[in-house]
Amino acid sequence: MKISMFKKPLSLLFSLLLLFTFAVQTTFAAQTNVKVMLDGKQLQFEDAKPVIVDGSTLVPFRKLFETLGFQVKWEDSGDVQHAIGTKDGLVIDLTINGTSATVNGSAVSLEVPAQIIDGSTMVPLRFVAENSGKEVTFASESDAFVIYIGKNEAACNPPSGGDFTAYMNMMKAFEEVKSYSFQGTMNMKTSDSDTAMKMEGDVNLQPEFAQHIKSSMQMAEMNLDQEIIMIKNKVYFKDATTGAWTAMDIPSDTMSEEILSQYFTCEMLAAIKDIKVDPKGNELMVDVNFDPQKYDQIVLNNSSSSKTVALKQQYVIDAKTNLPKSVVFTMDSEDENGALSMQAEYSYTFGPVKQILPPAGVN
């Protein structure tokens, strides 16, 4: 067996682990270049640039409010500062570093507070835009994370043929998910290796990206139990023998929150060949068949010697919530060393955010 073929399943485990556990779609964040589009026109921020804090985009207070047609006011009582916008009887009042804001006097909790960053007052874009009556959607370009307020000329346009409605409803429903749990299995086979893995864990998408995953892998004569905690761009590994934890920063060229965003974007819809939906009671059986060449162009950017031969997803979706109950993911690929076949099966439960913390005493 060539060493590269032995390494290939191992190198895929980290990236596919995150993909198969479905921690993908809502996280577009993590990119440093943020573009904000209002009704089809890009907003220019001269004094301070948009930033992403714990998964939420913050933009300069005055620029956003005035662009949306608000009159702005700044109140400073010494201990407490307020950024206030008023328009046609609507009043949005954000307390700097406050955990909630008020909309026409009613308190609304914030995932990330308004705050002063490098001397500029920054406010949560989505909260302000949606409470002023604007729809907010997201997209991921090769060099930027794009936020659309109002008109989105780059809205998802699914290919003709097949029933894309159920799939797109799932994408939209998942945008609102804050946390979920999963359990399942993954198997990978080459001509001379067979890897089996069981996994379970919890994933937080809001207010910050975090995962806690336990896995058990069998490959050749090797058995490996692994526990991983991932918070933002830091990952913690537990030694199965000693129980000791080690920490490392996630390299920029590995699967991270930013890279994961590409798997459930409008761009990825172009890689789908067809979708078939079979309603069964309160569930939808959704079969998604990808065009391998287009998939590689989008995901790999033709930078890998690996070539996808076939790729399918089979979802069971709750017809009421539009959220997936389970998925079966099958993929066949090949490179100069031979063929690799993979299959993953996962089930999901969605619920409140769970506390995921770094191991005690580990930096």
CATH superfamily of 34-143: Copper amine oxidase-like, N-terminal domain (3.30.457.10)
Cα separation values, 198 from 16, 83, 222, 345, 348, Å: 13, 49, 14, 10, 14
Which residue in 257, 286, 248, 292 sits closest to 273, CA to CA?
A: 292
Q: Where in the chain is the domain with CATH 3.30.457.10?
A: 34-143
pLDDT digits (tens, 9 = 90+) for 65-121: 999 999 999 999 888 999 999 999 999 999 999 999 999 999 998 988 999 999 999
Cα separation values, 138 from 50, 74, 153, 271, Å: 14, 29, 12, 19
Q: Please tell me the distance from the alpha carbon of residue 21 to that of residue 211, in angstroms, as a whole number.
A: 10
Which residue in 292, 311, 288 sits closest to 302, CA to CA?
A: 292
Q: If 0-12 CB within 10 Å is exposed, 13-18 middle and 19+ buried, where does residue 139 land? A: buried
Helix or strand holding residue 170 (H, E): helix 165-174
Model pTM above 0.75: no
pLDDT digits (tens, 9 = 90+) for 302-351: 556 778 899 999 999 999 999 999 999 999 988 888 898 989 899 999 98
What are the residues whose beta carbons fall under 8 Å from the beta carbon of 232, sequence distance 6 or more?
208, 209, 210, 257
Does domain 3-28+159-350 fall into CATH 3.30.465.10?
Answer: no
Q: Where in the chain is the domain with CATH 2.50.20.20?
A: 3-28+159-350
Q: Please tell me the distance from the alpha carbon of residue 259 to that of residue 252, in angstroms, as a whole number.
A: 9
Which residue in 235, 180, 179, 172 sits closest to 206, CA to CA?
A: 179
